[in-house]
Amino acid sequence: MNELLIAQNRIHLWKHEDVLTVIARGFKTDSTQIIAALVGTFVIYVLEFVWHMMLPFHVNTLKSFGESSSVLDKISEDASDDGMYFAPNFHHQIKAAEGDEKKELMLKQQESMSNGPVVFLSYKSTGTGGFGTSLGIQFICDFITMIIAAYLVTQLGGDEFGSQITIVMLVALSGIVTNMVPLWNRFVFSSAYLKVHAISVLINWAIAGTVLIKML
CA distance 27 to 199: 29
Same domain, 56 and 141: yes
Residues 49 and 140 in one domain: yes
Are residues 103 and 209 located together in one domain of the fold? no
Q: Do 141 and 196 share a structural domain?
A: yes
pLDDT of residue 22: 42
- Rounded distance, CA 64 to CA 85, Å? 18
Same domain, yes or no, for 160 and 187? yes
Give Dmax over CA atoms of the chain in angstroms: 82
* Same domain as 139, residue 59: yes
Does one domain contain both 168 and 117?
A: no
Distance of CA 199 to the CA centre of its chain: 14
Task: Tell me, yes or no, whether 8 lies in a domain.
Answer: no
CA gap 30, 159 in Å, rounded: 18
For residues 27-53, average pLDDT:
87
Number of domains forming the structure of the chain? 2
Query: Does residue 14 sit within a domain?
Result: no
Mean pLDDT across the stretch 183-203?
91
Backbone conformation region of residue 50, classed left if phi is above 0, alpha if psi is from -120 to 50, else beta: alpha
**pTM for this structure?**
0.76
Give 19's pLDDT tier (boundaries 50, 70, 90). Answer: very low
pLDDT digits (tens, 9 = 90+) for 49-106: 999 999 999 888 888 888 778 888 888 888 888 988 888 888 888 888 888 888 888 9
* Domain-located, residue 53: yes
* pLDDT for res 112: 86
Instruction: For residue 196, give the nearest of 61, 63, 50 by alpha carbon.
Output: 61
**Contact predicate 61/193, CB 8 Å:** yes
Residues 136 and 58 in one domain: yes
Alpha-carbon dihedral sign for residues 190, 192, 198, 200 = negative
User: Are residue 29 and residue 115 in the same domain, yes or no?
Assistant: no
In a domain, 207, yes or no: yes
Which structural domain, as residue segments, surrounds residue 201? Answer: 19-64+130-215
Q: Please say if the pLDDT value at position 33 is more than 50.
A: yes
Instruction: Report the range of poorest mean pLDDT among 22-26, 70-74, 124-128, 199-203.
Output: 22-26
Q: Quick one: average pLDDT of 8-16?
A: 50
pLDDT of residue 29: 56
CA distance 134 to 137: 5
In 50-160, alpha helices (H):
57-60, 68-78, 91-96, 99-115, 131-156
Q: Would you say 82 and 125 are in contact if contact means Cβ atoms under 8 Å apart?
A: yes
Asked whether residue 43 falls in the same domain as residue 145, the answer is yes
Tell me, what DSSP letter sits at residue 80? -
11 in any annotated domain: no
Ordered alpha helix ranges (H), 157-190: 161-175, 181-186
27: helix, strand or coil? coil
pLDDT digits (tens, 9 = 90+) for 124-176: 888 777 777 888 889 999 999 999 999 999 988 788 999 999 999 999 999 99
Average pLDDT over residues 178-205: 91
Residues 53, 111, single domain; the answer is no
Find the helix or strand (DSSP H, E) in which 204 lies: helix 191-215
10 is a domain residue: no
- DSSP H or E stretch at residue 9: helix 2-16
Within a domain: residue 71?
no
Q: Is residue 93 part of a domain?
A: yes
The separation between CA 33 and the C-alpha centre of its own chain, rounded to angstroms, equals: 22
